[in-house]
Structure 1
């Protein structure tokens, strides 16, 4: 029963992803020849065509990667890959003990997965992104980032994994509730530590030196009643030409971070408008809502794991032989991590819709606190710099897009600005 449901979910999700991707590529290719009417005066034809070519290239790459990931999923589960790895790890159990064996299994799985994905990451960085002029990462920096990522993953991941495994073995039938609490505490701790401890391992963060821009940003935050620990510029140009701005941290540890590529491209009023949009996410409690959703979904996930881990059919149905004299907790964690995504994929359009709703609300807040025209100009520049297509397939966009398509977003901003303009004429 479980095997049939898993195969059906994998097959249906694969076919749906393939269909959506092909729709997107065909739609973008059909509209490559001309800039859409609403953008005819602001976006050049070469920029529009570059965005189309980039979208199609990423779609083709994504299709190949999808086929590889699907084959790998079947290989790990029904074809016995995880079972083989588990039998190998079990051979070390007499020397390592139960906890050492289970952490070894998790580590081996993560390392093998990283090695198998490495060619795709290399191609994406040094061929695809390079081809369209976005990559600024050197091979040395790529390797150093990878080694740092491994070290940070081990230092942070192994302790929380050990704690969850210990709770699974020692905390009784409600272990999943205690494990969920530990996992949530870990995530909240990471929100506090990430800005000051983890992120600086990979990027340099310098205080914002532009006095005029700093004053403008600080006045905006005062108007919005938002306090941050600092304004920083990140050297995003070391790795990519893409630009962005974001908030990071929790509580008193919040920081405002600008990519240096963003500051190079946008004028100060446009930077203010982009920041006002990000502030809108906080003022409309989007960040809190997403945290609550993460809490709820992770609780459901741990509860599901608590039930499935005690079912022999869970293991056998996914191609793994559970141990009779050794703990199967790490095995259950890996199996759920592998098996759950094909089922939860079908929730993607709901999550995308919710996210787009938040983006519209944040835009509305930005228009009230800054200039809608500046926000529109900034979005157009970022769209062009990031080679975002102006002509996405509507079905693909409804399913996947966490941000509204540019045409819808700019139309909504223009509509918000109209009452202000009419009020000005009446005065």
Structure 2
């Protein structure tokens, strides 16, 4: 089959896929509230205006559509780079640049990073425009571009490091390259998680100790009761970028941090903030970050194993049409990251399900710690309003996008504690 026919079939298949996704998100499953919970604390009509409900449905559907649009778009991009010889051309240009392998890989990585930035820029720009139009993003275009340029250089550096390691082991260890790559990834992942809060995150935002010392004292009391050794709670100036609300735990070891967005401080009352912080402290208590790292490394092990097995088959059968001379060629790395991307997406329902379980445990810890049902419910309602989120998203969206339980599930879960605490 000619390259032209392959491309035409690929585009037709992609357009059919997009049509089905559009019908699913905008017509077939819009996440409507069932009659039995209408009028309850889960019903958006209770805590949102009519305009907010309409905007939440529209904006959520658009965000979900852009997500499902981008995933196969990425795979097609990698495939067409190889099919039409762009991967091979980048490899030849890199080979002509220097005799030093590191420089060759650096040049190839840079070409690929620039091309990727250009190809994915339209989707990212459209996402920002919709977020701006719906009042979620507060970023100016220049500020938004600054973040993306920072991301470009970080992604380029990571790509260069990963590609250097992978190509080195492919050429030195042959069929067992995937195993040596995985072993080298373990310390790298741990190191990256350790430096992220103090090196990577500050490139995007300013982090400072919580200025409300009375509130910080109450949060640190919650941490102390849980056996968490924390000296500070950090706030980050996210209001410069978004109107959404969030808090999170990041980092490991001495660099682990509990972080509050300043939008949370501005828009939630003290009881709601304490509920959120109890939730975040639960991640410390139950060591979810470390469990997540172990889970990630396990999935990486499996992913690299299957990628190595499939690479040999694909190069043997389709290496000529994809213009890949050997497994150790620079252009073969495009096939590797394409396969990893497919496997990662395929595993995302399992990963998200595990994450939702951890988040539900953190919600349980929070409500059992603060014992304030109303604060928990109002917190989730305000989260929905601030980010224009669907309370009950479509099931495919939940499977592939939600690392947290749906807002419907979280509100109903907290609501289930009402009788217990009202009797006390």
TM-score between both structures, scaled by the size of structure 2: 0.85
The answer to whether the Cα contact below 8 Å between 1:9 and 1:342 also exists between their aligned partners in 2 is: no
The answer to whether the Cα contact below 8 Å between 1:92 and 1:101 also exists between their aligned partners in 2 is: yes
Match of 1:4 in 2: none
Shift of 1:143: 2.8
Q: Distance in 2 between matches of 1:19 and 1:274?
A: 38
Shift of 1:255: 1.1
Q: Distance in 1 between matches of 2:291 and 2:131?
A: 34
Runs of 5+ in structure 1 lacking a partner?
1-6
Q: What is the aligned counterpart of 2:198 among 167, 172, 196?
A: 196
Q: What is the aligned counterpart of 1:50 among 43, 49, 55?
A: 55
Secondary structure at the residue paired with 2:330? helix
CA pair 23-84 structure 1, distance change in 2 beyond 3 A: closer
Equivalent runs, 1:167-316 vs 2, <5 Å: 167-171=169-173, 173-228=175-230, 230-311=232-313, 313=315, 316=318
Runs of 5+ in structure 2 lacking a partner?
1-7
- Number of residue pairs matched? 411
CA pair 106-328 structure 1, distance change in 2 beyond 3 A: farther
Secondary structure at the residue paired with 1:287? helix
Q: Distance in 2 between matches of 1:27 and 1:131?
A: 25
The answer to whether the Cα contact below 8 Å between 1:52 and 1:389 also exists between their aligned partners in 2 is: yes
Q: Distance in 2 between matches of 1:390 and 1:318?
A: 49
The answer to whether the Cα contact below 8 Å between 1:360 and 1:409 also exists between their aligned partners in 2 is: yes
Match of 1:24 in 2: 25
Residue 351 (structure 1) aligned with residue 351 (structure 2)? yes
CA pair 147-344 structure 1, distance change in 2 beyond 3 A: closer
Deviation readout 1:12-37 (Å, 9 max, x if unpaired) = 999777645533322676959x9942
Match of 2:341 in 1: 341
The answer to whether the Cα contact below 8 Å between 1:28 and 1:52 also exists between their aligned partners in 2 is: no
Shift of 1:193: 0.9
Q: Say which is worse superposed, 156-165 or 260-269, in terms of deviation.
A: 156-165
CA pair 317-17 structure 1, distance change in 2 beyond 3 A: farther
Match of 1:364 in 2: 364
Q: What is the aligned counterpart of 1:139 among 128, 141, 144?
A: 141
Shift of 1:151: 3.0
Q: Say which is worse superposed, 7-16 or 365-374, in terms of deviation.
A: 7-16
- Calculate the aligned-residue CA RMSD, in Å: 3.3
Shift of 1:395: 5.2
Deviation readout 1:93-125 (Å, 9 max, x if unpaired) = 244234433343233222201111112212221
